[in-house]
Amino acid sequence: EYEGDRNQEGQRHGFGKALLPNGDTYEGQYESGLRSGPGTYRFKNGAMYTGNYLQNKKHGKGVFFYPDGSQYAGDWVNDQRQGYGEYLYANGDTYTGEWANNKRHGQGTYVYKDTGSKYVGCWVNGIQDGPAELIHLNYRFKGRFLSGKPLGRGKFVFDIGCEQHGEYIQPVQEKAEEEEEEEPPLPLEPIWKASEITKLTPWSPHDEELLAP
């Protein structure tokens, strides 16, 4: 069911409204029979996309509202989240940064609503991986992550004015006898081994006053 503009060939072309056989609706621009340009697509399950289309696919800037209450606002390429965008999750967490193939990929910041902690750094295929900073209320960790966990050299920076240097080491997992092992155990968490503690000069508003000309 369609109501709107058509071209000389009778194709949907220009502005129109459509009710699809599955119960979804679309209102927006068409080009040669395909959704192209700005429009709003409402899904029967309650989801909604409003933004740009190119040949029936989400492409360009757009906002997607998901049925669970989460939403994504940002770039789309060929129907996938790709480029730069912000995702608000149903639990209140947020991610702002780069995307590729519908996954967090590149530089981005993830904020945990419950704790206020913040991960700022690299992502690979939706997983924390690469140089990053994990910021908590009174301290932060600077180092590298691998497959979602800190690994290798890094440091903890504390607000009280000191730094603890060291490294995260992946402990060796003992293998059990094969006949006893039906389900492989979860990998062990990396262990932090400190090497030294150094001082730092904490910033304060008073410092800014001293630096002012």
CA pair distance 51, 62, nearest whole angstrom: 4
Whole-prediction pTM:
0.83
3 state DSSP class of 212: coil
Structural contact between residues 30 and 5, judged by C-beta atoms closer than 8 angstroms: yes
Amino acid of residue 160: I
Amino acid of residue 154: G
> What pLDDT is stored for residue 173 in this prediction?
63
Domains assigned to the chain: 1-67 (2.20.110.10), 81-201 (2.20.110)
Residues of the chain with pLDDT under 50: 176, 178-184, 201-213
126-174 pLDDT tens trace: 999 999 999 999 999 999 999 999 999 999 999 888 999 999 998 876 5
